[in-house]
Structure 1
Amino acid sequence: MLPADHKPNPEIEVLWEDQERINTFSKLNSRIRVLKDRLKTHEQEKEYLSDVEMELELLDEDDQVQYKIGEAFIYLSQEEALERLQRDTENVDKQIQEEEQQIGETAQQMTALKGLLYGKFGNAINLEA
């Protein structure tokens, strides 16, 4: 929100390119929120997998454990379950890394657009969350 004492500058003309930049910034802002939500979900999943790994290591090697694959559970030996768990953890790590990279790239684009828009409109535009 703009301050109550704010008066728009009638000399600043909003060009088509400016409107496109504002729209692009809005899309990037939405995208970064989605990416951060996904990142948070994957970080929780990694934490859960770490907890499961510690529990599996406490079991006897001869014990059978139920392992969830998709919507079904199958029985695996402790060793097989640990191997699958390690692969799942690696996949989650890759997803986390990709999302962090996408967040960084999106933030760079947003920073560039902020510079252009604030340079032209100054305090007449608010691009903060």
Structure 2
Amino acid sequence: MELLPKGQKNSAEVSWEDQQKINEFSTHISKKDILTAELEKLQTEKEYIDDLSMEIELIDEDDNVDYKIGDTFVLIKQSEAMERLENQNGYLETKITELETQIEGLDSKLGALKKQLYAKFGTAINLER
């Protein structure tokens, strides 16, 4: 089975070093996909917590609210619930920042590898999705 257009031959010789770069590119893409999925999940969770915080702020400070810890709901004061939500929000912001930094690092590595591989193989290699 030939994947190149009719009449076009693959003249690029793939060395061991080139194959290692291609493998490294593939590994980085896989890591980026995993980190991106995790980032989206954390951003969604942060949005839910922001919405929940706004709703709980409307409740009187002396009132109790149901707060889920694990699989159990417990009654806690509104002020304590707000404090817990703020702590969770801070934790999520830290994790989101870490993931964004990791993704940026992978993007720079992927860009460098793309440049090297396209310089050698030109149109004989496709690194785009």
TM-score with structure 1 length normalisation?
0.92
What are the superposed Cα offsets for residues 60-86 of structure 1, whole Å, 9 maximum, x if unpaired?
112111212233322210000000000
Runs of 4+ in 1 over 6 A off after TM superposition: none
Deviation at 1:37, TM superposition (A): 0.9
The percentage of counterpart residues that share the same residue type is 46
Gaps of 5+ in 2: none
Where do residues 1-80 of structure 1 align in structure 2 (5 Å cutoff)?
4-5=5-6, 7-10=8-11, 12-80=12-80
Kept in 2: contact 1:61–1:78 (CA 8 A) = yes
* 98-107 or 55-64, which deviates more: 55-64
Q: Could you tell me how far apart the structure 2 residues matched to 1:61 and 1:6 are?
A: 77
C-alpha distance 56-6 of structure 1, shift in aligned 2 (>3 A): farther
Paired residues, what number? 127
Instruction: Calculate the aligned-residue CA RMSD, in Å.
Output: 1.5
Aligned to 1:127: 127
1:86 matched residue in structure 2: 86
Letter in 1 for 2:28: L
1: CA distance, partners of 2:7 / 2:87: 56
Matching residue's letter, 2:115: G
Q: Structure 2 CA distance, aligned partners of 1:64 and 1:28?
A: 48
Q: Which runs of 5+ in 1 are unaligned?
A: none
